Chain A
């Protein structure tokens, strides 16, 4: 659980018991990804969260999954989750419509160390749905824009049709003092943006390596190669932060599923410094 913030008290004092929320708004991001805005049904306001923390979500009966909180941390009354449908549990969440009920508990985990950004250049690298836990950080950073140097955001997806938050990213690109590079693995003729993997965009970034902090979330291989590329440009491994992912069943360090070497990712992570992760990321099937 969070060492940063207390998780919301669980229903009726039953631990690991979720609270009922209702879907206020459903926005289809892509063919398989939706963004849901949730309201509590019990009257309590959603618990405040830190960028990078997650909740456990379930459509009761269809299984429970870890989902990052992807809304604006300055608006904790608006609980926002972006979910990509994969298996049964996430498909059930993806099918929810306004008025449906969803079970929520959390927030859990240690999020992004926002303060590490102050006074430095900042690089965000997102791959696929990995943009979801980075969006609250982006909101927080843009709100405090004067406190740090350059801001470089690299976001990669499989295809233009798979880009999440596309409208909002374009808006931010237009009016914020930040550089956004959006790249896709493959695209048709109607795509005017970059094609290729996110690591290829790192050489183009403008930042002072020794005074840069980087926040990465996406597939493990993408994070590892990006971290290596950033290191190659002088970013210190302790200034590179990765949000790691493993199967999670409880979110509070009981179930043992989210082990990654010495870490219980739900409790010690999901965000951890690359300095500690580097040797572990090289181990196959850890």
Chain B
């Protein structure tokens, strides 16, 4: 059947890959030196890990998400990308939870600082969603958008091939439409796949986003996408757009929240929140971290590491032996106001992409969209904002 382009296809062109040929695509990634990372089922969730062959993908699984709950269910078709987002995000790879910044070795009265050259090769991130591309771009601005550039992040970012997957369904926790980040992958990808399953042969429409994406396709058995295929892609995306489980009024949210730092809802939500930090760990944009130093026993070598931290930890705001944000309400407020309001001041965009992870993975089912609505309602006066 498909002969496939022997030359790399042009950027912007669209092709169809048959499901039976999916392993050829995975092989081609590897032939081009990429390690493939993508969705896989582990411990009852779809997480990101190494993908060797198509059966490592969550074949025939979907995720059902609600406030405080996430579970996998069988689909009635063998879709490979028939789910939305799990507890992992690509920050797992781009901004690892623990990373050595440098090693300092004592040299006489002085010391010398070094980093080990990275052994990491290029990676193909398979199945990146629109909201996740938006999240990666947000972290790009944090780690590479200022005058100081984080070289570890920047290096991993340039070695990553973004192979996106269009969402052909939405979870009940999704609200990317409200945040303007999805469901359609429009840019920021090397390749984007749309899975067509259930109508005609199981296949993927692949759009080429960059020359790097194009070169991987050389030799992969593809046929040009037909107008019917393309119409189906638009129709799926349209359907997803209308299937959003949640919404958040993002217009004016910054001003609203900054004007309501004394709202009674902070006390109420803070009474429910158990400060477990889950929401910050699963959030694809949360970047806060701490540093720690690991000296060896002889004292001749010290490593400085950084690790994910969370504004829900009491020690996060430590100052002079105490903490600034001792109460849980103040920590929830810090998190949500940062996500939806002060992120604009700091990095020029919202810090929330509407992926819904924090909603599903909150053990007590706190829902950021619901909280935004509650803060919108007028409040009785509280002592939280005002001081005597």
Binding site for B on A (CB under 8 A): 1, 3, 11-12, 14-18, 20, 22, 41-42, 58, 60-64, 86-87, 99, 101, 103, 245-247, 249-250, 252-257, 259, 261-264, 267, 282-286
B262 proximity list for chain A (CB < 8 A): 283
Neighbour of A15 across the interface among B112, B114, B150, B318, CB < 8 A:
B150
Q: Are A15 and B148 also in contact (CB < 8 A) when A60-B293, A61-B295, A64-B291 are?
A: yes
- Interface flag for B338 (CB, 8 Å): yes
Neighbour of B114 across the interface among A14, A256, A283, A286, CB < 8 A:
A14
Smallest Cβ distance from B273 to chain A, in angstroms? 14
**B319 A245 Cβ-Cβ under 8 A:** yes
Name 25 A/B residue pairs within 8 A (Cβ), A-sorted: A14-B102, A15-B149, A16-B102, A17-B101, A22-B109, A42-B110, A60-B111, A61-B293, A61-B295, A62-B293, A99-B109, A101-B109, A103-B104, A247-B318, A252-B146, A253-B146, A253-B148, A255-B291, A256-B287, A257-B309, A261-B258, A262-B341, A284-B384, A284-B387, A285-B327
Residues 258-316 of B contacting A (Cβ, < 8 Å) = 258, 261-262, 287-293, 295, 299, 302, 304, 306, 309, 311, 316
Binding site for A on B (CB under 8 A): 101-102, 104, 109-115, 142-143, 146-151, 258, 261-262, 287-293, 295, 299, 302, 304, 306, 309, 311, 316-321, 324-327, 330, 334, 337-338, 341-342, 345-346, 383-387
Q: Are A254 and B148 also in contact (CB < 8 A) when A249-B291, A283-B384, A285-B327 are?
A: yes
Query: In whole angstroms, what is the CA distance A20 to B326 when docked?
Result: 36
Closest Cβ neighbor of B318 among chain A residues: A247
A1 proximity list for chain B (CB < 8 A): 146-148
**A285 B324 Cβ-Cβ under 8 A:** yes
Q: Chain B interface secondary structure, helix, strand, loop or mixed? A: mixed
Of B114, B142, B319, B327, most A-chain CB atoms within 10 Å? B319
Closest Cβ neighbor of A249 among chain B residues: B291
**B151 A15 Cβ-Cβ under 8 A:** yes
**B346 A264 Cβ-Cβ under 8 A:** yes
Smallest Cβ distance from B294 to chain A, in angstroms? 8
Q: Are A256 and B288 also in contact (CB < 8 A) when A1-B148, A15-B149, A282-B385 are?
A: yes
8 shortest interchain CB distances as A-B pairs: A256-B288, A262-B345, A285-B330, A61-B295, A252-B148, A17-B113, A60-B302, A20-B110
Query: In whole angstroms, what is the CA distance A41 to B287 when docked?
Result: 34
Closest Cβ neighbor of B142 among chain A residues: A254
B316 proximity list for chain A (CB < 8 A): 247, 257
Query: In whole angstroms, what is the CA distance A86 to B111 when docked?
Result: 25
Q: Are A86 and B114 also in contact (CB < 8 A) when A16-B101, A284-B330 are?
A: no
Neighbour of A286 across the interface among B151, B324, B386, CB < 8 A:
B324
Closest Cβ neighbor of B254 among chain A residues: A262
Smallest Cβ distance from B113 to chain A, in angstroms? 4
Query: In whole angstroms, what is the CA distance A263 to B342 when docked?
Result: 8
Query: In whole angstroms, what is the CA distance A246 to B114 when docked?
Result: 29
Of A15, A41, A245, most B-chain CB atoms within 10 Å? A15
Smallest Cβ distance from B308 to chain A, in angstroms? 10
Having A41-B110, A101-B110, A256-B289, one finds 20 other A-B pairs with CB under 8 Å, namely A1-B147, A3-B147, A11-B112, A17-B104, A60-B293, A61-B295, A61-B302, A63-B293, A99-B109, A101-B109, A101-B111, A250-B291, A253-B346, A254-B148, A255-B288, A256-B288, A262-B258, A282-B387, A283-B385, A286-B324
A99 proximity list for chain B (CB < 8 A): 109
A101 proximity list for chain B (CB < 8 A): 109-111
**B287 A14 Cβ-Cβ under 8 A:** no
B147 proximity list for chain A (CB < 8 A): 1, 3, 252
Query: In whole angstroms, what is the CA distance A16 to B289 when docked?
Result: 14
Query: In whole angstroms, what is the CA distance A267 to B293 when docked?
Result: 23
Neighbour of A87 across the interface among B290, B291, B293, B321, CB < 8 A:
B321
Neighbour of A249 across the interface among B151, B289, B386, CB < 8 A:
B289
Query: In whole angstroms, what is the CA distance A263 to B302 when docked?
Result: 32
Neighbour of A14 across the interface among B113, B146, B148, B291, CB < 8 A:
B113
B317 proximity list for chain A (CB < 8 A): 246-247, 257
B324 proximity list for chain A (CB < 8 A): 246-247, 285-286
Closest Cβ neighbor of B317 among chain A residues: A247
Smallest Cβ distance from A105 to chain B, in angstroms? 10
Smallest Cβ distance from A212 to chain B, in angstroms? 25
Query: In whole angstroms, what is the CA distance A284 to B329 when docked?
Result: 11
Q: Are A285 and B325 also in contact (CB < 8 A) when A61-B302, A247-B319 are?
A: yes
**B113 A284 Cβ-Cβ under 8 A:** no
Closest Cβ neighbor of B325 among chain A residues: A285
**A255 B327 Cβ-Cβ under 8 A:** no
Smallest Cβ distance from A12 to chain B, in angstroms? 6
Query: In whole angstroms, what is the CA distance A85 to B262 when docked?
Result: 35
Query: In whole angstroms, what is the CA distance A63 to B302 when docked?
Result: 11
Smallest Cβ distance from A145 to chain B, in angstroms? 34
Neighbour of B287 across the interface among A61, A254, A286, CB < 8 A:
A254
Of A99, A246, A259, most B-chain CB atoms within 10 Å? A259
Query: In whole angstroms, what is the CA distance A157 to B113 when docked?
Result: 39
Smallest Cβ distance from A268 to chain B, in angstroms? 8
Query: In whole angstroms, what is the CA distance A253 to B289 when docked?
Result: 11
Neighbour of A61 across the interface among B112, B142, B299, B311, CB < 8 A:
B299
